[in-house]
Amino acid sequence: MSEQQTWLIKPENYRALQLIRKRIRSIYGDDIRITSTGDLAELTRYKDDKDETLKTMLSEFEARAPFTLSDWVKPAEQNSTQQPHRVYRGQVMA
C-alpha cells in the first residue's frame, strides 16, 4: 500500500473525508465514492464552491494531506482519447 493510501485510511483523515462527502451530498445530491487517492480528483470540482463551509473543509483536508489537490488528477481524465468503459462491481464490461 502506498504512503498516500495509508494516509487516506487513517481515522482522522477518513472521518474528515466522510464529512466532506456528506456536505456535498446534502448540497448537491452527488454521492462521491472515494476508494483510493486517485478518486480524490472528484473533489476538485468543489474546490471553488460558493458554499464557504465546503471550501473550508476542502482546504483543511488539503492542508493535512502530504500531497496537493493538483496531484489528485485521475490518469483517465488526462487521456480522454480512450473510449469510456462501463464498470460493474470493479470489473470492466464490454
Looking at the domain assignment, is residue 86 inside a domain?
no
Whether the per-residue pLDDT at 17 is higher than 80: the answer is: yes
Looking at the domain assignment, is residue 17 inside a domain?
yes
Mean pLDDT along residues 83-87? 54
Q: In which residue are the cell numbers 482522522 written?
A: 12
Nearest Cα neighbor of 54 from 36, 30, 76 is 30
The range of the structural domain enclosing residue 55 comes to 3-69
* Number of domains forming the structure of the chain: 1
Distance of CA 28 to the CA centre of its chain: 15
Looking at the domain assignment, is residue 24 inside a domain?
yes
Looking at the domain assignment, is residue 63 inside a domain?
yes
Q: Note whether 46 and 58 are within 8 A (CB).
A: yes
pLDDT at 10: 85
pLDDT at 20: 92
